[in-house]
Amino acid sequence: MEFSSLAGATTGRSLVLFEEGAAKPGMAAVREAVGPSIAGGDAAGTEVFETLGVAVVDAPPEQVMQAAGSEAIIAVEPERIVYALELAEAPHAANGHALLPAGPPLGATEAVPVPPFMPAAAPAPAGRSADYLRGYRDAVMHLTDDLAGAAAADAGTLAAIAAIDETQATWGLQATKVVNCCRTGAKIRVAVLDTGFDLQHPDFAGRTIKSKSFVPGEAVQDGHGHGTHCIGTALGRKCPPKGRPRYGVAHQGEVYAGKVLSNAGSGSDTGILAGIEWAIANKCAVVSMSLGAPTQPGQPFSQVYERVALRAQAKGTLIVAAAGNDSSRPGTTRPVSHPANCPSIMAVAALDSNLGVAFFSNRGINPNGGQIDIAAPGVNVFSSWPMPTRYRRLQGTSMATPHVAGIAALYAEADPNARGAALWQALVGGAQRMPIAAVDVGAGLVQAP
């Protein structure tokens, strides 16, 4: 059994990871170690997620470690506090349009297409193992790094600006070629685990929406706004009211809004794990998590979340998460945040409208886990916001993540066999390669099928 002392704010409780199907004997060992009054099935602060094979125990890890003799227990970790990963509101002009980064003159009102940096690799066959998947990702990253120097010499490519005209659709939907895709996400369930959702938002009238709060004492209704913005990008309306661009990727996807962060924008591992189990039980093809906690160079990834992600993939659910906003480029780059730093959770970096790495986007620094897997638009992102504001522009890897989640729904609609690891393969295989190091953008810019 492994004990992990992870950096960051914690709650004083413990996460216990069990072998597959061994939750009951594992909990028996925990009760013997810490006492039935603390770890009993009905004890306050103790929850067992049998589908995930994880328990949250109201006792510190040092105490729970007394159950180390049990073969049913794989690892014990402190329960972390996590946060919505969002920066300040993106700057905008009086007309509500984004103030985009400076670049070459556009010369026309039409959006400049995303440059074909290099051909996309064909997706690997479905049904591969997690080890194969990680090897496939590493090979793509190595190839991208080898070619980055040559591609960077093309000044025209570097200067290209993606999708500046947002009259019809946001720049992010144009850069990812969502606007050219015939898929809608119909019948695909996407769970967004965040601060909840504005259930009365008029842009979602008539849509299939399932919701549940995992924050004690708070309803699903979004009192923060972050969750409503993320849901809008992943699943928002195709044709908003006149004068507003299309901002939603999978506009016919089924919305599963799980409130795992409070109206103050914070939460704990308990709520997140409960949300993941809820999403799996409801057969969601995708779980989008624009949340996390900072990590330190050299810090290991969570064994609990890594095993949860693998078990989710085995049940047909892919987890994508924000890589984090702790960097201050060009001077400082920080490692990928928890839980996106787990190898089997797809870590999403943020790009600006010049297709450069956003100044805040974290980097794949830690060698054992913690890679960037893919990149998406994350600056000046227009999307839904709780009423009466209705819309707002934000920036962050939080805004990049739902682009990937929505596009994953399009791939899932296109191929009923693209689930779990196979869906991961489709996303990285279809990504637009970029003249930027893979430690910053992974396989490249996510593209619609």
> For residues 28 and 40, is the Cβ–Cβ distance under 8 A?
no
**241: how many CB neighbours lie within 10 A of its CB?**
10
Give the bridge partners for 445, in sequence order. Answer: 375, 432
Distance between CA 225 and CA 219 in Å, rounded? 14
Which residue has tokens 């999307």? 383
* CA angle (81 as vertex; 322, 441 as ends), nearest 5: 15
Catalytic residue among 14, 58, 70, 194: 194
> For residues 23 and 322, is the Cβ–Cβ distance under 8 A?
no
> For residues 391 and 385, is the Cβ–Cβ distance under 8 A?
yes
194 is known as an active-site residue: yes
Q: Which two tokens stand for residue 125?
A: 């066959």
- By the 10 Å C-beta count (0-12 exposed, 13-18 middle, 19+ buried), 32 is classed as middle
Catalytic residue among 226, 229, 251, 403: 226
Distance between CA 201 and CA 64 in Å, rounded? 45
Distance between CA 256 and CA 266 in Å, rounded? 19
Catalytic residue among 327, 398, 403, 440: 398
Residues with a known catalytic role? 194, 226, 398
